[in-house]
């Protein structure tokens, strides 16, 4: 195990809100997956509960992340895995099967 379960939520939250630096807000809007970009041009995105995806480029200025960003945007849209997707997305259907949502205040 690379990371203890108790830390996963915290790491994914920070990755979604800060992992793409100045592009984090746009990333959350367009891709909707926790991710981390690296100085070497790589991007690591996570589909919570399912897996991860990565892209890499030789060390370049941040604008060179664009091809990796485009791949992640297309993947998110084509596979319907944006974590804020509408109710009819594949991810929502998966969550309904494997993860029952508790009712508010134990009702």
pLDDT digits (tens, 9 = 90+) for 27-72: 999 999 999 988 777 888 888 777 777 776 655 555 567 778 888 8
Q: Where are the alpha helices (DSSP H) in 53-89?
A: 66-79
Whether residue 20 contacts residue 37, with contact meaning beta carbons closer than 8 Å, is answered with: yes
- Tell me which of 75 and 64 has the higher pLDDT: 75
pTM of structure: 0.71
Answer yes or no: is pLDDT of 25 > 90: yes
Question: In degrees rounded to 5, what are phi and psi of residue 25?
Answer: -65, -45
Whether residue 33 contacts residue 24, with contact meaning beta carbons closer than 8 Å, is answered with: no
């Amino acid at each position: 195990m690379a990371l203890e379960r108790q830390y996963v939520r915290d790491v994914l939250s920070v990755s979604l809100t800060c992992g793409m630096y100045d592009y984090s807000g746009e990333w959350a809007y367009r891709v909707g997956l926790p991710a981390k970009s690296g100085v070497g041009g790589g991007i690591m995105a996570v589909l919570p509960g399912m897996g991860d995806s990565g892209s890499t480029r030789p060390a370049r200025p941040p604008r060179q992340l664009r091809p990796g960003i485009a791949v992640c945007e297309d993947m998110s849209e084509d596979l319907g895995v944006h974590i804020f997707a509408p109710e009819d997305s594949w991810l929502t259907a998966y969550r309904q099967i494997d993860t029952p949502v508790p009712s508010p205040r134990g009702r």
